Amino acid sequence: MAKKNLIVGQSGGPTAVINSSLYGVVSEALAHPDEIEHVYGMENGIEGFLNGTVLDFAEALPGEKLSYLQHTPGAYLGSCRYKLPESLEDPVYPELFRKFEEMNIGYFFYIGGNDSMDTVSKLSRYAERIGSDIRVMGEPKTIDNDLVHTDHTPGFGSAAKYVASTVREIILDANVYEKKSVTIIEIMGRHAGWLTAASALARKYTGDNPLLIYLPETAFDVEAFLKKVEEAFEKNCNVVVCVSEGIHDAEGTFICEYDNSVGTDSFGHKMLAGCGKYLENLVRERLGVKARSVEFNVSQRCSASMLSAADQQEAVAAGVFGVQAALKGETGKMISFVRQEDADGIYHMTCGLEDVNEICNEEKTVPLEWICNDGSDVTDDFIRYAKPLIQGKVDVPLGEDGLPVFVYRK
Amino acid sequence: MAKKNLIVGQSGGPTAVINSSLYGVVSEALAHPDEIEHVYGMENGIEGFLNGTVLDFAEALPGEKLSYLQHTPGAYLGSCRYKLPESLEDPVYPELFRKFEEMNIGYFFYIGGNDSMDTVSKLSRYAERIGSDIRVMGEPKTIDNDLVHTDHTPGFGSAAKYVASTVREIILDANVYEKKSVTIIEIMGRHAGWLTAASALARKYTGDNPLLIYLPETAFDVEAFLKKVEEAFEKNCNVVVCVSEGIHDAEGTFICEYDNSVGTDSFGHKMLAGCGKYLENLVRERLGVKARSVEFNVSQRCSASMLSAADQQEAVAAGVFGVQAALKGETGKMISFVRQEDADGIYHMTCGLEDVNEICNEEKTVPLEWICNDGSDVTDDFIRYAKPLIQGKVDVPLGEDGLPVFVYRK
């Protein structure tokens, strides 16, 4: 294959390590100057690319600056929520491939979640249809950990570590007064409860808070919940409850819909918020105790303060592995993670390749056998699964202003 | 003075370094075995002391464990919000001093904010009245930075660093899409805007977000605010606004009261929440743009993830200084911070002593001359004031579970 250029984009919501995957792709691409001439970034994903906003990494992040991507949260290249048309007959496809040809693109990398893998699927299928030799690859990214055919996804480990450590701190905060109280913590996750389950990692000893954990994988019953809270007071006068934003009743009605109006995002997903607030008011009114709610909001996906070194290193590794695979001729694949355990039970991870068509638009939820106590806790199997993913500390450099130094486009 | 015992308590809301002040008091007291025999902690403040819950630090945190207080947020001893009666004729005073005598207490230390200094004031006045030689000392603590007669207070620097770094991360998160958006961040502070002002430290360059910052020191006008947001769109399509929870209009009505019902805490303070949510809805409806709000909530006061080394070291220093002063015979004093600048303009801090009666129940707000742009920003004078307080990193050890190791009472 003649010398070609590589272009990479980011799509969907940011994570703490989406830029580490970017670093992996870009640094590995720059390490193959005989095969890859320019390494481009599309600003604001495929939507920005269509509008012609592209940067050259050699100019944008020269020298050491590129490595700063590894501790910069957010999405350095910007993002989009643009879904390519279902029909490959749509004129956007020839337009895109004409642009690829103009820029001598041989490798197209897209970092994102299920919706982004849908883009990778469509572009790779269109490339095959027209006989283009462009190699189209997907790099996984999501704090939700809901991609199928991979043990876990980059972004989950750091988000889980943020959730676990912040819940641990809030438990300390909740314990300062000797008066019955309930703290409801609402954690991201519409349909998959992985991140909410990670709150179980916060426990310092058996029987510690959070005493109740509710995922969207099982139906939530308000009366059963109130009974569980009353039982929990027998263990601790300060009860901490972690709930997924997507908890719903047996009929499928979201708890947040019990008293809130909700909208939808550009992919038609329901935009949820407020089940924590709803439960706070419910507990106060029905049980007559002090109650408060905390919504973790965007910090759980954009904080570099609790980066998991394991997560960060794996995100870089996935980027590197993807470029190596594309150079060997792979296309239409997403990089997956395969869990290995050595004889001593020590966790190792290796990268694999999965057909992107089998990944896009699918969702992996927490196995029901990992949920226990009538849907109010997770089992030790989950702890064993998640613990290796939050290990290790990343040293984020501070500037003269006393704050973390990040790289960014102005 | 014969060998006496020291007792220390914590009161009011937790901070990231209230346990560092505790460490300073306890470690210095233990370093004077010829004068101080036992070092006790009252669990849950003066209220817990009245109920007889006391621990001995030599047993509770032996050896190296004591030093773990320096990175443990929350309030190790637990807290209370108990206000001593105004009248010194109340029978609780002889009851307290009888207990002090039984336990051979010679030194009483209380770590807290203005309400806690009120306790120190009353106990020291009662001691004087009855001719007791107990030395009663106050150690300052508050994320609000609102104590008078001190340059700043322990707890503010770490909370300010948390606010600034988290706002910086949310700015990165807000910038990923190329579509007009407004992010409203609501920050703690009823009457004093110090912590909200700290969001200005998040700017990476002149003209960076947060483009608008509103403190409770000036009146907030909804129409003027909407106009400012529209102007801000000329600088950045993603506008980040930081507001204090206590912003109010010219008539003194809190903005959160525009659509929320509010309660009061046990000191009669109004419990505020929700001006961010109110402004989010206002912006969406009136300007027709994407809007979201983030409430920082308890993490800003209980997170060890962004400890300021300067703040932590000063909190320890205040504890140490207080014990040394009490041993020299001081009583009825709060430890204050006095700012020094050397010839090169480098910041140094020394400790001082202030009459606690002049501190309790007073509030220090942000000087009006540090607020600019019609009440929508802070001046460089504030930046110069706050920057030294957020410097330096604290290494919080991680356990085998991958999370910060804290000390706690079960």
pLDDT in tens, A352-386: 999 999 998 789 999 999 999 999 999 999 999 99
**Could you read off the pLDDT of A108-160 as tens digits, one per residue?**
999 999 889 999 999 999 999 999 999 999 999 999 999 999 999 999 999 99
State the average pLDDT over residues A221-235: 97
Write down the residue that tokens 């770094």 correspond to.
B165
Q: What is the ipTM of this complex?
A: 0.94
**Catalytic one of A90, A118, A133, A144:** A144
In the residue annotation, A265 being an active-site residue is answered as: no
Q: Does A177 or B8 have the greater pLDDT score?
A: B8
Chain B residues 291-310 with CB within 8 Å of chain A: 292, 294-295, 297-299, 301-306, 308
CA–CA dist B336, B41 (Å, integer): 22
Structure tokens belonging to residue B37: 């025999």
- The pLDDT of residue B118: 95
- Note whether B178 contacts A299, CB cutoff 8 Å: no
* A271 in contact with B, Cβ within 8 Å: no
- Note whether B305 contacts A306, CB cutoff 8 Å: yes
**Catalytic one of B56, B115, B133, B144:** B144
pLDDT at B85 over 60: yes
- The pLDDT of residue B1: 62
pTM of the entire structure? 0.95
Of B74, B169, B410, the CB nearest to A299: B169
- Note whether A173 contacts B406, CB cutoff 8 Å: no
Q: Does B405 or A270 have the greater pLDDT score?
A: B405
CA–CA dist B275, B379 (Å, integer): 24
Chain B residues touching A205 at Cβ < 8 A: 410
State the average pLDDT over residues A8-15: 94
* A31 in contact with B, Cβ within 8 Å: no
Residue of B nearest to A235 (CA): B410
Residue of B nearest to A53 (CA): B178
State the average pLDDT over residues A397-404: 96
Structure tokens belonging to residue B80: 């209370």
CA–CA dist A18, A288 (Å, integer): 44
**Could you read off the pLDDT of A18-29 as tens digits, one per residue?**
999 999 999 999
Of B75, B79, B295, the CB nearest to A295: B295
Please state, for a pLDDT cut of 90, what percent of chain B lies above it.
89
- The pLDDT of residue B273: 52
For chain A, give the mean pLDDT.
94
- Return the closest-CA partner of residue A145 out of A155, A132, A137: A155
**Could you read off the pLDDT of A45-57 as tens digits, one per residue?**
999 999 999 999 9
Instruction: Please name every residue paired with B248 in a beta bridge, in sequence order, or none if there are none.
Output: B254
CA distances from B9 to B18, B26, B77, B98, B144 (A): 10, 11, 7, 18, 20
Chain A residues touching B345 at Cβ < 8 A: none
Chain A residues 204-223 with CB within 8 Å of chain B: 204-205
Of B73, B294, B297, the CB nearest to A298: B294
Chain B residues touching A408 at Cβ < 8 A: 172, 175, 204
Chain B residues touching A164 at Cβ < 8 A: 402-403
- The pLDDT of residue A270: 47
| Best residue of B158, B169, B300 to probe chain A, by most A CBs closer than 10 Å | B169
CA–CA dist A372, A308 (Å, integer): 27
B208, with CB counted inside 10 A (0-12, 13-18, 19+), is middle
CA–CA dist B36, B187 (Å, integer): 42
State the average pLDDT over residues B389-402: 96
Chain A residues touching B294 at Cβ < 8 A: 297-299
Band (pLDDT 50/70/90 cuts) for residue A258 is confident
pLDDT at B221 over 60: yes
- The pLDDT of residue B343: 85
Band (pLDDT 50/70/90 cuts) for residue B277 is confident
The conformation of residue A332, written as its DSSP 8-state character, comes to S
3 state SS of A300: helix
HEC per residue, chain B: CCCEEEEEEECCCCECCHHHHHHHHHHHHHCCCCCEEEEEEECCHHHHHHCCCEEEHHHHCCHHHHHHHHHCCECCCCCCCCCCCCCCCCCHHHHHHHHHHHCCEEEEEEEECHHHHHHHHHHHHHHHHHCCCCEEEEEECCCCCCCCCCCCCCCHHHHHHHHHHHHHHHHHHHCCCCCCEEEEEEECCCCCCHHHHHHHHHCCCCCCCCCEEECCCCCCCHHHHHHHHHHHCCCCCEEEEEEECCCECCCCCEHHHHCCCCEECCCCCEECCCHHHHHHHHHHHHHCCEEEEEECCCHHHHCCCCCEHHHHHHHHHHHHHHHHHHHCCCCCEEEEEEEEECCCCCEEEEEEEEEHHHCCCCCCCCCHHHEECCCCEECHHHHHHHHHHHCCECCCCECCCCCECCCCCC
- The pLDDT of residue A399: 96
- Note whether A78 contacts B175, CB cutoff 8 Å: yes
pLDDT at B207 over 90: yes
- HSE of A219, CA atoms in CB hemisphere, 13 A: 8
- The pLDDT of residue A256: 86
**Could you read off the pLDDT of B89-114 as tens digits, one per residue?**
999 999 999 999 999 999 999 999 98
- The pLDDT of residue B97: 98
State the average pLDDT over residues B283-301: 92
How close does chain A come to B170, measured CA to CA in Å?
7
- The pLDDT of residue A264: 44
State the average pLDDT over residues B247-260: 87
